[in-house]
Amino acid sequence: MNSENQNTGNLKITSNSLLRWTLLISGIILTGIGILGIFLPLLPATVFFILAAWCFARSSEKFHSWIHTNRLFGKYLSDYTNGNGMTRNSKILSIALLWIGITASALWFTQLLYVRILLLLIAAGVTWHLLAIKTAEK
């Protein structure tokens, strides 16, 4: 098997068919997890979409284009990866949903103090990350 890459614009599609299929399937799985992350507050959707886009950039022009132009999350992914940031409203909504989900989880789904502390630390870290992202104009 040849492990050279085919350069297609900014994409580096691998010519190794086993690696290409592995990356394609990984990208599809990561996209699925990212979609779940939209609805589950402890699952960071953007990270999974970024990883999926990386996999697609090395395996499929079609899927790479699709993930960046998807009507539900394509704009957010492209803005994030291009360094354009998040709108103020997106930040407020994300942080509010994060803290609602973390608080509900800490109060109703666990009685263990160390798990509650871990959840609060995760929420604080994600909040810090979201606040550190450039605030974009609409």
List for the chain the helix, strand, coil content (%; round to 5): 70, 10, 20
DSSP letter at 134? P
How is the chain split into domains, by residue range? 1-84, 85-138
Nearest to 59 by CA among 18, 14, 2: 14
Would you state the pLDDT for residue 46?
77
Rounded mean pLDDT of 37-50?
A: 79
Quick: pLDDT tens for 66-116: 999 999 888 888 887 788 888 888 888 888 888 988 898 889 988 999 999
Nearest to 20 by CA among 55, 50, 64, 49: 55
Would you state the pLDDT for residue 10?
65
Would you state the pLDDT for residue 138?
67
Listing DSSP states for 17-50 in one string gives HHHHHHHHHHHHHHHHHHHHHHH-TTS-HHHHHH
Reported as a pLDDT band with limits 50, 70 and 90, residue 27 is very high
In terms of C-beta density within 10 A (0-12 exposed, 13-18 middle, 19 or more buried), how is residue 39 classed?
Answer: exposed
**According to the per-residue pLDDT averaged within each range, which of 30-44, 52-66, 85-99 is highest?**
52-66
pLDDT of 26 strictly over 60: yes
Would you state the pLDDT for residue 101?
83
pTM of the model: 0.66
